[in-house]
Amino acid sequence: MSTPPELTSENATTRESAQYAKNLVLIGAGKMGGALLEGWIGLGVDPAFITVIEPQPTAAIAALSARGVRINPDPASIRPDAIVIAVKPQIAPGIMPNVAALTRPSTVVVSIMAGRTIAFLAGALPDNAAVVRAMPNTPAAIGRGITVAVPNSGVSSAQRELADMLLRATGAVEWIDDETLMDAVTAVSGSGPAYVSLLTESLARAGEQAGLPAELAGQLARATVAGSGELLRRSSVDAAVLRQNVTSPGGTTAAALEVLMAVDGLDPLMERAVAAATRRGRELA
């Protein structure tokens, strides 16, 4: 997995510079769209190349117009190289005709809408439109997300590079070819941040049960999950090795792991949870 590129005047290559000079349209500047927008500007994309379509821009988004971002301009004036759709999946049918009207033969359309398939997107766009379906996750808000992307056959290598740059602005990007995996991807990394939050809550509750004051238990659980996450991020070894590193035979961690790794422990529970999310993803699509 590669890390997000950092653009400085020293390391900007000609190819990267050319990629940054593309007309980008963001449709929906909410939590995810806002994170992408912030990421693009942070990467060094000239705000003058960015158009935002958003019925109720927040004050922070509206303020970007002073830096050159075009907000809700006349659609006839927009000639996008890339369109990123970041509205809720429920309103997709309503906005797709507008996206289709903006889509030129050279435009790549990138959707981060959960459950909206390539067939749905391509079916609403002009014939042979280049479409990328992507699934980010909420750590995108701090540049630590991971996005899985799948292209359709209309996506050229240059369009894929452009889509990669746009998505990488909020963290790592993995490309796959098999769209049927997207429900499992959603179940693991899309919904995963909620599981980690639940783990934090659950660890805090267990600490309380073991006699700790609620506030201290909450603080310990939160700092432990956050610190362990950071250790995982910085380390090149497997999670299993990090686990073994803190487990002395016959010690306290080993006693807890005996429970968590029992046949009815965390593995079957997580398997059931991810399977349920995968099933639900399929149903919603």
Residues that bind ligand NAP (CB under 6 A): 27-33, 53-56, 86-89, 91, 95, 112-114, 135-138, 190
- Give the residue with the Cβ less far from ligand NAP, 138 or 159: 138
Extract the tokens encoding 153: 């056959």
Question: Do residues 57 and 38 make contact, with C-beta atoms less than 8 angstroms apart?
Answer: no
Residue, CB closest to ligand NAP = 30
- Give the residue with the Cβ less far from ligand NAP, 7 or 87: 87
Q: What DSSP character marks residue 49?
A: G
Quote the least distance from Cβ 138 to ligand NAP, whole Å. 4
Extract the tokens encoding 79: 């000639």
> Which residue in 148, 144, 205 sits closest to 178, CA to CA?
148
Instruction: Output the CA torsion sign for 75, 78, 79, 80.
Output: negative
Quote the least distance from Cβ 229 to ligand NAP, whole Å. 17
Quote the least distance from Cβ 238 to ligand NAP, whole Å. 26
3 state DSSP class of 135: strand
Residue showing tokens 């927008």: 37
End-to-end Cα distance, the chain: 28
Quote the least distance from Cβ 57 to ligand NAP, whole Å. 8
Quote the least distance from Cβ 132 to ligand NAP, whole Å. 13
Quote the least distance from Cβ 119 to ligand NAP, whole Å. 17
- Give the residue with the Cβ less far from ligand NAP, 112 or 155: 112
- Give the residue with the Cβ less far from ligand NAP, 61 or 108: 61
- Give the residue with the Cβ less far from ligand NAP, 28 or 80: 28
- Give the residue with the Cβ less far from ligand NAP, 91 or 241: 91
196 Cα distance to chain centroid: 16
Residue showing tokens 């970041």: 86
Quote the least distance from Cβ 51 to ligand NAP, whole Å. 11
- Give the residue with the Cβ less far from ligand NAP, 7 or 191: 191
Residue showing tokens 């201290």: 216
Numbers of helices and strands, H then E, in the chain = 12, 8
> Which residue in 135, 137, 157 sits closest to 145, CA to CA?
137
Question: Do residues 37 and 52 make contact, with C-beta atoms less than 8 angstroms apart?
Answer: yes
263 Cα distance to chain centroid: 33
- The count of C-alpha atoms lying within 13 angstroms of the C-alpha of 243, restricted to the half-sphere facing its C-beta, is 9
